[in-house]
Structure formats: structure tokens, C-alpha cells
Chains A and B, each alone.
Chain A
Amino acid sequence: MNGNLTIAMPKGRIFEEALELLRKAGYTLPPEFDDSRKLILDVEAENMRFILAKPMDVATYVEHGVADVGIAGKDVLLEEERDVYELLDLQISACYLAVAGLPGTEMNDVAPKVATKYPNVAAAYFREQGEQVEIIKLNGSIELAPLIGLADRIVDIVSTGRTLVENGLVEFERIKDVTSRLIVNPVSYRIKDEVINELVTRLSGVVSLEVK
């Protein structure tokens, strides 16, 4: 039981960067890894099992303990508030959460509406600004909302800002910088402490190199 580690990885953009980081940290991961369509990948040489999940779901797998550790964006952690250890800032997949909308527009006085994939983050942010807004939860293409009048503002992840520009939207406020984090289930953190300590040491070695 001890020694065998299950890692929840986010599919898509972060996956490749995370994979590169693990390889830099000295973990031997087979090349076919990168374009496999399997959802569970066993790497016997490293005594590791990788599960591939939607980025938004990584923290869920880790909290319930079906994955010992995971790589999740800070945006997901802020939105989901899962009971997991956030051990390391992996400094990959940098982006930020921002408020955007059509240029020169004001929020509706009576019922200011905000469309977002991050209802908790958005509600908390506007509350801190002293504003009560109405949240409309969307699952993607958030930029549509202000364009066709569903909402006055959107709260979304911005990495290059190109999607905003191409759709004629502007960024109003920056909420929070986001990078990927190494998260750990609280029980695994204690029961598999040695393997996890090693993972943290090896990863933090390569992370700090990147920053310099």
C-alpha cells in the first residue's frame, strides 16, 4: 500500500506542462503518455498510477482520496474549496482570473449580472468590493455572455488575453494570479508521507530552478 502513488492529472493544456515538470524532476514516464486516450495510466517502474481528469475535477478526486495527489490550478482550488493540502506552487500554466466586459459599459444598476464558470470566486470577489451581483453559471465560451446581453461582466481565466481582444472585450479588474499547484489528500499526506515528501523535494528542486 505504502509506496504506490495515484496522481490525478488535468487533461489538456496543463497536462503537457505538468508532464514535462515530472520528467525534469527525474520521473521516467513513457513517451506514449503524451497522446494516449486512456484515462488510467500505470507506470510500474515508478510505482505510480496516473488518472486523467477534467481540470475542474482534479481536486474532487484528491479530496475523496481516490487519488493521493493531484495537479490543479489555483482557480479550481479557489472555486471548489476542497479539503486538500496545497503543498507546492508548481509555477506552470500561469494565467489569472479577471473581470471583463464590453468597453465603456457600466454594470446594470438594478440587477448587475456576471456570467462565469467560477460562481463562488465571482460572488466572493464582488462581495469584497461591496457589490452584490447576480451570478449566471456557464460552462464554457464565457465571452459570449456580454456580447449577446446575457450579462454585464464575466469572470474568467485569462492567459494571453487574445480571446478577449478577438471578441471585442476588455479586462476591467485582475482578481488573482493563477498557477498550478501540487495538492495532496490529507490521509495520503500522513500515510504515504515518505513517497510524498520525495515527490515534493524533487518537484520543488526543479520548480525553483525554473524561477531563476
Chain B
Amino acid sequence: MSRLFMFEKPLGMRDTLPELYEKKHRVRSLMDETIKQWGYQFIDTPTLEYYETVGTASAILDAELFKLLDKDGHTLVLRPDMTAPIARVAAARLLENDLPLRLAYAGNVYRAQQREGGRPAEFEQIGVEYINDDTVSSDGEVIALLVSSLKKAGLNQFQVSVGHIGFAQELFKQILGTNGRANALRRFLYEKNFVGYREQVNSYSLSSIDKQRLLQLLELRGGDEVIGKALDIVEDGYGKESLIQLKELWEVITDYGLKDYVKFDFTIVSHMSYYSGILFEAYAGNVGFPIGNGGRYGLIEKFGKKASATGFAVRLDKLLEAMGSQEVSNTVECIFFSQERRKEAFQLAETMKAEGKKAVLQDINGVKNLDAFTKKFANTTFLIGGA
């Protein structure tokens, strides 16, 4: 192990310096505000959770968990996402009388450290969980809230791609029957390997119509016209049911007036087994990774309550990256004072703060380079010497 330099911080950890802090804070408050306006209640949960409970229940892969031991030898995880801790709290404390529950959070989550840059081990997520309502209206509300809060935060160009875990699942089941063969195809979709998917389909002994149906799945993306195309390749059953849900979702999103932000994509398989219905990812053109994602999940059952839920999580770091370099206008003013006019300076500062302005009080004797220091402020007032 090489000796550490004093400026070093652990791999994957980042500081938030004042300018970035300001930007982060502003975006977070705009999103928070929107989420609160929709009636969601914010909660906090601990940073540390048990590996056995939240760690294993989480959608995050085991290898990506940040693990440590407590003094009794229990394995702990730094929470890898907020959904699993909230599912725990909801099941244990908040779900009552079968009522719908709308919760929200903004907090740091942790992932195993990685050598390569651009993959912080700690980053902030803002999101919501809408628990105990399995209507398509609730899926629609979560997507609409995602879009609205991103718009409110100031992001102009973005897109939400929506899929349904049930469609591909059911298509595979109808055509391939056995789970093994269906799983092989699902894995190719999950790994985004369409070449492998096609090769696998062609290796099965199937009628050319069935092969065509499986291959067409890869083409199913676009606006609501895609649902019609999807209807052609799936038979009655859960697959068709998933399309009915997506059609209704499209109507819900249309009624929100947000359909320009949404597209369908039937190849989205964000996880091998976590999601149970409609799922989605949000993209901004200038960032190479999704800025947010979400969908319907059955996780709460792992914590002992039967309740279906949906939600979204936005990565604040990616969102800020997508918003580019925005000028944070410096509105702080500085009042320089000397002993003689100190009281006057303090009174002026009080008045300014009462008007909602930001004022720094600076003893003039404390500044060595006045020119350089003055440049840091939007405005300066000098109350020095005898009046």
C-alpha cells in the first residue's frame, strides 16, 4: 500500500465545493418543491443498513454494494439506493389500512468503489415512491412527476423511454415455453446484446413466423403506434394485458399534456428480476448515462407486506451534468467596517438581510488583499473611519 498524500480522499469520493454546492442546492430545491406540490412526503433513512435485509432486497447487484462489518459481525451496507430502505420503513411503520402512500427522498447512496473515473462511489438521488396503488394512473403520476420536476429543475431536452417487463416475458413464454430458453433471451436483452439475441433466436428450431415475432421485439420503439405493432406479435394473456396498460398509460400521459417527453421501448430490461410491470429510464442528450429511472416493483413483499409500488430516482450528479455550466449569479454583498462604524455596519446588514439580500460583514483589518477580496462580491459598501 502506497503512502497517502494529505490531499487524497478515498477512491470514488467527491467534494462539493461552494459553486457546485450552490447549483446542486438550487436544482434539488426546485425538484423538492415540485415533489411536495404533488403532495409527497419526504423522509430520511439511515445511511447504514443490514446487508441481510436491505442489502439483499435492493435492486443493486451484490458486487456493487459497499460493505462493512459492525461490532457483532453483522455485514452492513452503505445504502445502495433509497427504494429498499423506504420499502423497509413503509412495510414496518407507514403502511396502514391499505391506503395509498406517497413518499419522497433526497439522499446520498453508495456503490462499491471502481477504478475507472466517472463512477462515483457516493452520489445523491432524488426520488419518490408511490406505494400501495396498482392502477396505471399511479404509474402515470410517477412518470408525469418525473417529467414535471425535471422541467422545473431547468432541464430542457430530455426523454423518458417506457417499457413493460411483462411484454417480452410473456412473448418468450408463449413462443419458447421453457424458462431456460426464455431466460437466455432475457439475458441478451438485459446485456443489450442484440447480435447475440438474434443468433440465439435463429439457433432455436421454431417456425419462421415465431422467429420473426421474436426478432420484431427489437424494433418495438417509438410513439404510441408501437403498441399496435406489439399487438400483432403477442397472443392473448398477460402480454396483451401489458399492452392495455401501456395504452392506458399513454392516455394518462397525454392528459397530463406531457406526451412529447415520452416514448415507448419494449427492449428496456433494466434488471433481470426486480421490476414487475411498467418501467422507464430518463435520458438527456449530452450525458452518456441515464439521468434517472424507475418503474413498478414488488420489493415491499420482501419486507412482509403485500403491496405493489412504483417510483423514480434521479441522479443529481448526472442531472447537473446534463444542465451544463449554468452561471450561478453571485448575489452576496460585502460591508467592510472598522471599529468606529461597526454598529452602523451591523444595522445595515440587518436591514439588508430583512430585505432578503445576502450580506457579508468584514472587518477591513482582516483582509490583506482588498482588490482580490472585493471581486468576490456583487456589491461592496465601506463603513470605515470616523463618520
Contacts and interface: CB of A to CB of B under 8 A. Distances in A.
Interface residues of A, number: 22
B195 interface: yes
A187 B195 contact: no
Contacts of A37: none
Contacts of A192: 285
B194 interface: yes
Interface stretch (A85-93, A132-140, A159-167): A85-93
Interface of A: 1-2, 63-66, 83-89, 181, 185-188, 190-193
25 contacts: A1-B157, A63-B288, A65-B288, A66-B288, A85-B193, A86-B193, A86-B194, A86-B195, A88-B194, A88-B195, A89-B195, A181-B195, A186-B192, A187-B283, A187-B285, A188-B288, A190-B159, A190-B221, A190-B283, A191-B159, A191-B283, A191-B284, A191-B285, A192-B285, A193-B222
Given A86-B196, A193-B222, 5 more contacts: A63-B288, A64-B118, A185-B288, A190-B221, A190-B263
A87 B286 contact: no
Contacts of A1: 157, 285-286
| 10 A-B pairs closest in CB distance | A65-B288, A85-B192, A187-B283, A86-B193, A191-B285, A89-B195, A1-B285, A64-B288, A86-B195, A190-B161
B352 interface: no
B192 A65 contact: no
Nearest to B157: A1
A87 B194 contact: yes
B290 interface: yes
B194 A85 contact: yes
Nearest to A193: B221
Contacts of A2: 285
B289 interface: yes
Given A83-B192, A190-B263, A65 B157 contact: no
A64 B117 CA distance: 10
B194 A187 contact: no
A interface majority secondary structure: mixed
B68 interface: no
Contact of B287 (A65, A88, A89): A65
B378 to A, nearest CB: 33
A191 B221 CA distance: 12
Contacts of B265: 190
B214 to A, nearest CB: 16
Contact of A86 (B118, B157, B192, B290): B192
Interface in B254-301: 263, 265, 281, 283-290
Nearest to A1: B285
A132 B221 CA distance: 44
Interface of B: 118, 157, 159, 161, 192-196, 221-222, 263, 265, 281, 283-290
B99 to A, nearest CB: 36
A85 to B, nearest CB: 4
Nearest to B193: A86
A84 B195 CA distance: 12
A191 B195 CA distance: 21
Contacts of A64: 118, 288
Contacts of B281: 190
Nearest to B291: A187
Contacts of A87: 194-195
Nearest to A90: B195
A186 B286 CA distance: 12
Contacts of B194: 85-88
Nearest to B198: A89
Contacts of A186: 192, 283, 289-290
B157 A187 contact: no
A191 to B, nearest CB: 5
Contacts of B286: 1, 65
A88 B193 CA distance: 9
Contacts of A191: 159, 283-285
B283 to A, nearest CB: 4
A86 B200 CA distance: 14
Contacts of B118: 64
A87 B196 CA distance: 9
A190 to B, nearest CB: 5
B323 to A, nearest CB: 14
Contacts of A187: 283-285, 287-290
Contacts of B196: 86
A119 to B, nearest CB: 14
A207 to B, nearest CB: 11
Nearest to A61: B288
A63 B287 CA distance: 10
A161 B332 CA distance: 70
A165 to B, nearest CB: 31
Contacts of B285: 1-2, 187, 191-192
Contacts of B193: 85-86
Contacts of B290: 186-187
A193 to B, nearest CB: 7
A63 B289 CA distance: 8
Nearest to B219: A197
A185 B222 CA distance: 18
Contacts of B284: 187, 191
B168 to A, nearest CB: 16
* Residue in B265, B281, B283 with the greatest tally of chain A CB atoms within 10 Å: B283
A16 B195 CA distance: 22
Contacts of A190: 159, 161, 221, 263, 265, 281, 283
